[in-house]
């Protein structure tokens, strides 16, 4: 059972959920591509550089796999939701960080997108609440739609 489903209050309705963008995997895919390139290059060189290229390919493959697992864990353990009463943000597998803000206490919702973020549809959402509290949520897929659900009355 998800964290959001556990913390819903009686009569509270889930309006929207969001996920982190698949761009989290980009570093892992880059490392795996370098591993494949180094392994392919090892086929075309002589004896001594072949060992170096194969070692580099192995290091990059291990790095790529661990980076992919880290991104997968982050993406699957992050929950973003908007209900008719509040905004819920949870991240973490073993340790947990949660932020829940009543929608009527949200003063502003900022969306920051780089050029790549605008092209590929991801960005950072910054929730500012009354009393100066804020929560920054990075790499949200389709942040403009998520913002619309937060600010809708």
Specify which residues 83 forms β-bridges with: 14
Q: In this structure, are residues 124 and 140 in contact, taking their beta carbons and an 8 Å threshold?
A: yes
> Domain spans of the chain?
15-21+81-151, 25-73
- Distance of CA 122 to CAs 36, 59, 127, 151, Å? 28, 30, 16, 18
Distance in angstroms (rounded) separating the CA atoms of residues 76 and 22: 11
- pLDDT tens for 111-139 read 999 999 999 999 999 999 988 888 999 99
Contacts of 41 (CB under 8 A, 6+ apart): 53
Contacts of 36 (CB under 8 A, 6+ apart): 57
Interval 16-63: pLDDT, tens: 999 999 999 999 999 999 999 999 998 888 777 888 899 999 999 999
pTM for the complete prediction? 0.87
Contacting residues for 23 by C-beta, under 8 A, at least 6 apart? 116, 120, 122, 139
Question: CA-CA distance, 151 to 153, in Å (whole number)?
Answer: 6
Inter-CA distances, 67 with 34, 36, 48, 59, 76, Å = 13, 16, 29, 12, 14
């Amino acid at each position: 059972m998800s964290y959001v489903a556990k913390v819903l209050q009686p009569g509270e309705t889930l309006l929207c959920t969001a996920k982190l963008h698949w761009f989290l995997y980009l570093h892992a895919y880059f490392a795996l591509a370098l591993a494949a390139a180094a392994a392919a290059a090892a086929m075309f060189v002589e004896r001594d550089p072949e060992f170096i290229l194969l070692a580099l390919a192995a290091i990059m493959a291990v790095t790529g796999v661990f980076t992919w697992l880290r991104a997968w864990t982050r993406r699957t353990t992050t929950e973003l939701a908007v209900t008719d009463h509040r905004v819920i943000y949870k991240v973490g597998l073993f340790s947990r960080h949660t932020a829940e803000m009543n929608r009527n206490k949200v003063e502003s919702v900022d969306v920051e997108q780089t050029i790549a973020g605008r092209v590929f549809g991801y960005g950072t959402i910054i929730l500012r609440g009354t009393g100066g509290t804020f929560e920054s949520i990075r790499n949200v897929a389709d942040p403009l739609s998520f913002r619309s659900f937060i600010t809708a009355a």
